Every structure is written in C-alpha cells, then in structure tokens.
C-alpha cells in the first residue's frame, strides 16, 4: 500500500509509476470519448451524485490507490466534451496536440507575469499575438494584446481601455471625474458587455441596446439614432461593441457600416469575435468579418471555441502599443524590477488586470504548428459545411421550423421541433405555450439517455428553440443525421 508522503516529494520510482497509471486512465477515457457507442454523459441529479461516491475532504491522507479510484469516479460522471455527438457549447472536441500541450503546460507550472519565470511562453505569446494581428490586417502586425481568462474578461478589458483612452484621469480619480458614459451593443450581444459595465462602475443602464434585424445583426441606423439620443441626454458615447458571431444566432454585425458611424461620432469601436473571430482564418468565410481591421482599439478572439483549443484560450488584440500598459500598470517593484539584466518589455504582467496569469498560449501555439494556418482553415470550413448540411436537411422537413430565415452565417442552426401532435394546432397561443416546453423535455431526455447534447433557449419573444452549434472537428454528417433522428425519437410523443 503506497501511502502519500505528506511532506516531501515521493521517490522518483513511485512518482513515475503513479503518473503513468493516471495517464493510462486518461488514455482509456479519451478512447471512450471518441467512441460513438459510449454515452456522452452518465447523468445524475446533484443530490444523487453527491451520494454516489464519497467526495468529502478528511483530515487523514488516502492511499495512492484510493486516489486512482477517485480519478476514475470523476471521469465516470464527467461529461465527454470530446464526444462527436456533444454539441452543447461553443467549445467542444479534444485536439490531441492541444491536449499534449496542456499537459506540458501543467508540468512546466509557471506564470506569465515575467520573462524571468516563463521565458519561452512569453516569447510564444509575443509571436502568436503578432501573427493574429497580421491576419486581422493591422499594418505589419503592429499593436499589443494579451491572453485573458475568457471572452467576458477580454470584453471587460476592451471597455476598460476605451474608457481610459478617452479619459485617462479615470485611473486615478475614478468615475467621479468623468461625464456620464454610454456604451452601445446589439440586443443579441453577449451578456458580458453589461456585466463588464456593472463591474467597471459604468452601470448597466449606460449600456444601450441596439436593435437587431430578423437574422440577429445590429441595425446601423438604430445605432446612429441611439448615439444621437444619448448625446442629447448628456451622455458621452465612448464604446461600441459589435459582435462577430453572436452567441445564439451566430450573426455577424455589419462591421464596416458600424465603424463608419463610430468614426463619425468618435466612439471607440470594439469587435467581440469570441465566437466568430476565428472565421478570419478561412478564405471562404472571412468576408463575414470585413471591416474588422477597422476596429480602432481592439478585438476579442477565443481560439478555445471555433479553433477547438482546450479551455481556456481567449485573446484580446489591441491596436495601440503601450495603451494596456498605461491603463493597468501599478509598477509593483517586487515583481517588475527596473534593474533586471534583460529587456523589460518582455515582462508583460503590469499590463494585465491579473497579477499571476495562467499559461494559455502553448496549446494554441503547438496546435498552430501542427496544423498550420491551412489546418485551422480546413477545420473551420468543415464545421461550417456540417452546419449547412444540417440547415439544408431540416429547413423544409416536416416538423421543423427555422427561427430565422436564410442560411446561417456561422455554425449556429436555430430551430423548433414540433412533435406530430402539435403540428396542426390552431390555437396559436396554446401552441406557443406547448412548444416552449418541448425543447427542455427533449434535452432532459437526451441527458438521461446520454446519447447527445444540444443547447436550447428562448430569445426575445421567441419561445424555447434548439441552438445547434458545431465546433467539434470529430463530428461527421452521420452525427448530424443522428441528432435529427434522436430529436424525433425523444420528442415524438410530446
């Protein structure tokens, strides 16, 4: 019985044996995850799951064999996000090079704040951000950027930088030195814009929602009207966040028209491309982001979504060099000593909101090396092809109704499934009420059977509908066929 040595590290032999045993468990889990015969999830309700295993923390140590048992139990009840039929979130799939890179990152166990403690990772962040800026089309790839803990924080950074750029005194004096600000974003945009405004002391009421058209794109004329209205009320418009790939519809706001308005009224133009930004890597689809190069200030782009980089990997790209540093630096002299023997511009910590910062860069960098730009392109194109296949398959199929007309711009396919008993109901209100309950029941059954998972939600006055998204490179046409069959199998009696 191998007791864990609670103070010192273990003998090397025991360490190596234990780690290899864990790896064997992980490799078996990966094999299972890619097997369509395996369940996506072995679902249990929270109280039930709490009782199915001993999860409590004790005073006394456990043996290493017990630890292996805990690892197996954790994976037994985990969701298989790599499964080719897991479509529940914008981040799905498991790339083996990305995974290997994440294992290496954990083993290197360091921190992005200084070159001193993360020399290679800091350089790779520099190289990768530059490459991303070149792809956007900023001259010579010039500018700045950072990998942050997710798109919501990246968007918050963007708002923070816009405010500082317009009113640098806000850093010292706070919002009391600044006029009442107004930010603008579409009614379909991500909730992180409002969340950021609440945190930054701007307030959610200062986030003005711009109308979207039927397919979810921001209406530029409404933006201009609302900017003028805000000015009349004495607000200072400082920030427009356009969305490239909305969360639910996958819509791309018209960036050129929006940037023209921003220029006219001197408002900072940000693009939230957390979900759709990756399409810029596809020669076939990048026109949807036309105008992104005009984002005067910054762009959020999450490789952990459409590029299937393991979680978390979110980039904020900033056009102006030095802006992040000026906005966030506090000159902590215990960390950013000015008399170090190397080029201090590689100490990136003082431009971040965080102090310690997790290494998120290596998995993206290594995947990029393995796939090349053309590999990411092929992967993205394939996901869009699958979603077009789904759209074509259901748009005229009996029992389906599309939430918006026309081919989706991203992989989001939004639709209602109407069980046979509801298809010819005459009472529109009653039908709507019943339809609202269909998706939640089918979803619950999917999870109980564990066969597949797809998301649903209401939007505005539209009752619950399915939002199918595809970002998993392992998915195939047959998996799309399966999803449709499964929805019909699980929903026909409703």
Question: Smallest distance from the beta carbon of 374 to its own copies, in angstroms?
Answer: 5
- How many residues lie near its own copies (CB under 8 A)? 174
Give the closest residue to 180 by CA, choosing from 242, 230, 228: 230
Q: Find the binder of its own copies among 6, 232, 233, 493 (CB under 8 A).
A: 6
Mapped onto helix, strand or coil, the DSSP state of residue 429 is: helix
Q: Is the CB of residue 200 less than 8 Å from the CB of residue 156?
A: yes
Single residue of 1, 7, 37, 405 touching its own copies by CB under 8 A: 7
Q: Which of 209, 236, 296, 311 binds its own copies (CB under 8 A)?
A: 311
Residue in 337, 406, 433, 485 binding its own copies, rule: CB under 8 A: 337
Say if residues 349 and 146 touch (Cβ distance below 8 Å).
Answer: no
Distance of CA 29 to the CA centre of its chain: 24
Q: Does 123 bind its own copies (CB under 8 A)?
A: yes
Q: Binding marks (x or -) toward its own copies, 173..212, rule CB under 8 A?
A: xxxxx--xx--------xxx-xx-xxxxxxxxxx------
Q: Which stretch binds its own copies (CB under 8 A): 62-70, 260-268, 283-291, 390-398?
A: 62-70
Angle, CA of 181, 461 and 90, to the nearest 5°: 75
Residue 38: CB partners within 8 Å, gap ≥ 6?
A: 32, 80, 83
Could you say which of 221, 228, 284, 330 contacts its own copies (CB under 8 A)? 330
Smallest separation, CB 263 to its own copies (Å): 26
Measured distance CA(132)–CA(292) in Å, rounded? 12
Interface with its own copies, residue 103, by CB under 8 A:
yes
Integer CA distances (angstroms), 328 to 97, 142, 165, 274, 449, in order: 34, 20, 12, 22, 49
- The residue within the footprint of its own copies, chosen from 278, 300, 312, 409 (CB under 8 A), is 312
422 binds its own copies (CB under 8 A): no
One-character DSSP codes across 314-325: EEEEESSTTHHH
List 225, 228, 229, 342, residue binding its own copies (CB under 8 A): 342
447 touches its own copies (CB under 8 A): yes
Q: For its own copies, which stretch binds (CB under 8 A), given 220-228, 316-324, 331-339, 421-429?
A: 331-339
d(CA 242, CA 244): 7
Any contact of residue 97 with its own copies (CB under 8 A)? yes
Residue 248 as a binder of its own copies (CB under 8 A): the answer is yes
Q: For the CB of residue 414, give the shortest distance to its own copies in the complex, in Å.
A: 11
* Residue 146 lies near its own copies (rule: CB under 8 A): no
Please identify, using beta-carbon distances, which residue of 73 and 484 lies nearer to its own copies: 73
Indicate the residue among 211 and 382 with the shorter CB distance to its own copies.
382
DSSP notation for 186-254:
ETTS-THHHHHHHHTTS-GGGEEEEPB-TTS-B-HHHHHHHHHHHHHTT-EEEEEEEEBS-TTT--B--
**Which stretch in 136-144, 225-233, 283-291, 342-350 sits in contact with its own copies by CB under 8 A?**
342-350
Interface with its own copies, residue 39, by CB under 8 A:
no
Distances (CA, A) of 28 to 15, 273, 427: 20, 35, 52
Q: Is the separation of the CB atoms in 350 and 328 below 8 Å?
A: yes
Query: Which of 75, 209, 236, 402 touches its own copies by CB under 8 A?
Result: 75
CB of 396 to its own copies, least distance (A): 26
87 makes contact with its own copies (CB under 8 A):
no
Q: What is the dihedral of CA 189, 194, 196, 202, to 10 degrees?
A: 140
Among 36, 99, 187, 326, binds its own copies (CB under 8 A): 99
Distances (CA, A) of 433 to 248, 344, 436: 21, 62, 5
- Strand ranges for 305-374 from DSSP E: 314-318
The footprint of its own copies on residues 250-289 (CB under 8 A) is: none
């Amino acid at each position: 019985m191998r007791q864990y040595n609670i103070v010192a590290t273990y003998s090397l032999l025991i360490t190596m044996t234990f780690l290899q045993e864990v790896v064997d468990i992980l490799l078996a889990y990966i094999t299972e995850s890619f097997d369509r015969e395996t369940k996506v999830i072995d679902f249990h309700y929270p109280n039930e799951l709490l009782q199915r295993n001993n999860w409590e923390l004790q005073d006394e140590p456990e043996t290493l064999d017990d630890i292996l048992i805990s690892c197996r139990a954790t994976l037994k009840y985990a969701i298989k996000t790599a499964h080719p039929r897991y479509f529940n979130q914008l981040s799905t799939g498991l790339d083996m090079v990305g995974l290997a890179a994440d294992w290496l990152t954990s083993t290197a166990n360091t921190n992005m704040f200084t070159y001193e403690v993360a020399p290679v990772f800091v350089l790779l962040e520099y190289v990768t951000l530059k490459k991303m800026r070149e792809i956007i089309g900023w001259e010579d790839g010039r500018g700045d950027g950072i990998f942050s803990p997710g798109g919501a924080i990246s968007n918050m950074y963007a708002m923070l930088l816009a405010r500082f750029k317009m009113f640098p005194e806000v850093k010292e004096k706070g919002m009391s030195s600044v006029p009442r600000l107004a930010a603008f974003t579409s009614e379909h945009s991500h909730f992180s814009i409002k969340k950021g405004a609440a945190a930054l002391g701007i307030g959610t009421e200062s986030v003005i929602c711009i109308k979207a058209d039927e397919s979810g794109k921001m209406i530029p004329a409404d933006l201009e009207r609302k900017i003028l209205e805000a000015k009349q009320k004495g607000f200072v418009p400082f920030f427009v966040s356009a969305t490239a790939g909305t969360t639910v519809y996958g819509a791309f706001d018209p960036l050129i028209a929006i940037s023209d308005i921003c220029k006219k009224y001197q408002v900072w133009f940000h693009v939230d491309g957390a979900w759709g930004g990756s399409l810029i890597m596809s020669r076939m689809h990048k026109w949807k982001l036309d105008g992104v190069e005009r984002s005067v200030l910054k762009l959020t782009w999450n490789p952990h979504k459409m590029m299937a980089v393991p979680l978390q990997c979110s980039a904020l790209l900033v056009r102006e060099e030095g802006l992040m540093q000026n906005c966030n630096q506090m000159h902590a002299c215990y960390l950013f000593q000015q008399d170090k023997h190397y080029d201090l511009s590689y100490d990136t910590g003082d431009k971040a909101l965080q102090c310690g910062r997790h290494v998120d860069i290596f998995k993206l960098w290594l995947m990029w090396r393995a796939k090349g730009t053309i590999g990411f392109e092929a992967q993205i194109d394939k996901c869009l092809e699958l979603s077009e296949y789904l759209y074509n398959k259901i748009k005229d199929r009996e029992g389906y109704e599309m939430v918006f007309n026309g081919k989706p711009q991203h992989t989001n396919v939004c639709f209602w499934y109407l069980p046979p008993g509801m298809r010819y109901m005459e009472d529109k209100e009653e039908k709507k009420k019943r339809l609202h309950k269909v998706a939640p029941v089918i979803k619950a059954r999917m999870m109980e059977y564990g066969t597949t998972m797809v998301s649903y939600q209401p939007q505005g006055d539209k009752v619950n509908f399915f939002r199918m998204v595809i970002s998993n490179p392992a998915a195939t046409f047959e998996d799309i066929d399966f999803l449709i069959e499964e929805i019909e199998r699980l929903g026909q009696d409703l």
